[in-house]
Amino acid sequence: MKTLAILNGPNLDRLGKREPEIYGHATLADLEARLRAEFDGVARLEFFQSNHEGELVDRISVLADAKIDGIVINGAALTHTSVALRDALAGSGLRAVEVHISNIYKREEFRQKSLTAPVCVAVITGLGLEGYFAAVRFLLR
Ligand code: DQA
């Protein structure tokens, strides 16, 4: 059975409370429960959220050493700013799919640049939470 990591960056711990008109009403715990239910017996899913860049970098390093089968990452604001996150993904040798709940191309200009997208195999943006499911399905193929 494949092992995938679902990584979420800053402020995604506040899903459900944070700007629900953009990110919806489901919480991060809801997302985790739904993904676990959907892929029960099909994939091992590991979840990690942090508001801290270094913690995400450290986690990617551990996942790289463990040689897991792929990463689904919503780097949130770090997507647009973090060379460290990009380097961690690139250096991990792992296949990663970048997910955004909102469509970053319909939003402010500063969100339309992703530093991490070029080191991911794909980007899914604007499908809401469905993007995480699509990313997992893709990585399981
Ligand atoms: C986000 C989009 C980012 O621009 C933003 O900083 C987030 C969430 C999304 O899922 O739509 O925190 O990654």
Ligand 1 touching residue 76 (CB < 6 A): yes
Pairing of strands 122-125, 43-49: unpaired
What residue ranges in the chain does DSSP mark as E strands?
2-8, 43-49, 70-74, 96-100, 122-125
CA nearest ligand 1 atom 13, residue: 76
Domains by residue range for the chain, with CATH: 2-140 (3.40.50.9100)
- Ligand 1 centroid to Cα of residue 137, in Å, is 21
pLDDT (tens digit per residue) in 47-90: 999 999 999 999 999 999 999 999 999 999 999 999 999 999 99
Give the residue, by CA position, lying nearest to ligand 1 atom 7: 76
SS3 call for 110: helix
Q: Where does the pLDDT of residue 115 fall: very low under 50, low under 70, confident under 90, or very high at 90 and above?
A: very high
Q: Which residues pair with 124 in a beta bridge?
A: 99
Q: Could you list the active site residues?
A: 23, 100
| Token output for 45 | 């899913």
